[in-house]
């Protein structure tokens, strides 16, 4: 990856210098070449050997790539009837816990009754062996990198425990040079894209969820082995379109246009082909800049 890194550094020249003190504040550590948040320290071996069950369904994303899809998966897992399913944030978070987070912890995940729904931001190579060895089903949600970068920046600024004080230019530099939690967006996405044809993996794009939710709901329910009537699908689509938490400004495709300058976009367009390689993965970035 050195060659790609050199290209990125060249492409971001002229931007604010990186805010190196931020690393000291966040206490990141590097495991197998991936920068991880401090709460992952000391548990990566346990995660690698975490027992996976055949009826597990895992939801994996790079941070800020559309994890609200968990609400959709949770609803479908319960039969898809909105009047019978509580989609309150606390209920869904408790029902679809993070693998690597301190709460509820690995022991609590061990004790969960089947079938389990589990989510994670970890890259492919750091997930349990059973996840990679076809011992369960996995839904991977990807999102175009420009919108991910901007949403991740907002998260860093708004969340009290992070309290990021750097500029967006500095964050731009961090994103392109793999200096954020969970490592490189590009490596994270490409690793899963390379396994998109594995029978236990469903690779979906956030933009497809936003553009044609009905079709995507059908695909997800089919993958999960849940039969939904056309009426139920229609009700789900109407509900998703009416609820504020799924339709915030930062959730729109093309949100990046509110934050990127023309110069930043030009630099990004030079970097992206190097990072994404020629693998046939294309994203909807919204309207032309």
Where in the sequence numbering do the catalytic residues fall? 121
Where residue 15 falls (left for φ over 0; alpha for ψ -120 to 50; beta otherwise) is beta
User: 66: part of which helix (H) or strand (E)?
Assistant: none
Judged by DSSP in three states, 139 sits in strand
Encoded tokens for 43: 């548990």
Token pair in block for residue 122: 């970890």
Give the contacts of 117 (CB within 8 A, at least 6 positions apart): 56, 57, 58, 59, 70, 73, 74, 77, 95, 96
| Cβ-based burial of 53 (10 A; exposed 0-12, middle 13-18, buried ≥19) | middle
Distance CA 174, CA 135 (A): 35
Q: Are 136 and 58 in contact (CB under 8 A)?
A: yes
Outline where 78-195 has alpha helix (H). Answer: 89-95, 106-111, 129-132, 145-158, 168-176, 185-193
Give the CA distances from residue 233 to residues 76, 217, 227, in Å, rounded to whole numbers and listed in that order: 10, 7, 10
């Amino acid at each position: 990856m050195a060659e790609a890194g050199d290209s990125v550094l060249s492409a971001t020249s002229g931007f604010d210098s990186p805010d190196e003190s931020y690393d000291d504040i966040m206490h990141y550590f590097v495991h197998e070449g991936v920068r991880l948040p401090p709460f992952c320290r000391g548990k990566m071996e346990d995660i690698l050997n975490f027992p996976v069950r055949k009826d597990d369904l895992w939801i994996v994303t790079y941070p800020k790539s559309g994890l609200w899809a968990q609400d959709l998966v949770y609803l479908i897992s319960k039969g898809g009837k909105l009047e019978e399913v509580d989609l309150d944030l606390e209920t869904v978070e408790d029902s679809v816990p993070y693998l690597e987070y301190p709460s509820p912890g690995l022991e609590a995940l061990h004790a969960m009754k089947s079938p389990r729904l589990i989510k994670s931001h970890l890259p492919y190579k750091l997930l349990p062996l059973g996840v990679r060895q076809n011992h369960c089903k996995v839904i991977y949600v990807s999102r175009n990198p420009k919108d991910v970068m901007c949403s991740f920046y907002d998260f860093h600024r708004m969340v009290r425990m992070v309290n990021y004080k750097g500029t967006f230019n500095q964050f731009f530099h961090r994103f392109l040079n793999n200096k954020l939690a969970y490592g490189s967006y590009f490596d994270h996405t490409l690793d899963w894209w390379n396994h998109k044809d594995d029978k236990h993996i469903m690779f979906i794009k956030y933009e497809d969820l936003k553009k044609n939710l009905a079709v995507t709901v059908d695909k997800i329910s089919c993958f999960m082995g849940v039969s939904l009537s056309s009426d139920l699908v229609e009700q789900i689509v109407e509900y998703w379109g009416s609820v504020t938490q799924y339709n915030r400004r930062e959730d729109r495709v093309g949100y990046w246009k509110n934050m990127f300058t023309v110069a930043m976009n030009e630099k990004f367009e030079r970097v992206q082909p190097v990072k994404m390689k020629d693998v046939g993965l294309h994203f909807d970035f919204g309207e032309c800049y």
